Amino acid sequence: MYKNLVPLNLPKPELKLAKKENSIMVWDNLRKKYLKLTPEEWVRQHFVHFMLSLDYPETCIALEGGFRMNEQLKRTDIMVYKNGKAVLIIECKAPQVPVNQKTMDQASAYNSHYKVDYLILTNGLDHLVAKTDFENKKYHHLEQIPSFNEL
């Protein structure tokens, strides 16, 4: 197996891997193409499969959506839509990158653009789930990931 890919604190999905030149590639079911398997992509693919196991509809999940912030192109790792509205941002990091205030600041900055109700931060080992409190301009930590129906 790829030396930088560690076992994650998520159910193990059946990933379709292939080798292209000197890179390991992973089949992305949502984008219908092979992608280079980086440590962050390893986390993203595990998390997407986990969400699908929680009955999140495949058609409501978007990967690496782009938007402009301060004249720079930014990308959300995973976005969940419900009834055509963005409701959840998931920020994925490589396992060696800690889920901390810096990660929360990044997701919060993205949320200043999208204004979603929920944020999830994950490095595949640690997961932080938060509900947005727009009135008080803060986040409340949740114990578990909301079901799609709760969004």
Identify the CATH number of the domain in which residue 37 sits: 3.90.1570.30
Residue 10 belongs to a domain = no
Closest CA to 92 of 41, 24, 149, 58: 41
Q: At residue 129, does pLDDT exceed 50? A: yes
Q: Tell me what pLDDT residue 100 has.
A: 94
Domain count of the fold of the chain: 1
Residue 3 belongs to a domain = no
pLDDT (tens digit per residue) in 2-58: 556 799 999 999 999 999 988 999 999 999 999 999 999 999 999 999 999 999 999
Q: Tell me what pLDDT residue 73 has.
A: 75
Q: Give the range of the structural domain holding residue 63, as residue numbers without chain letter.
A: 17-144
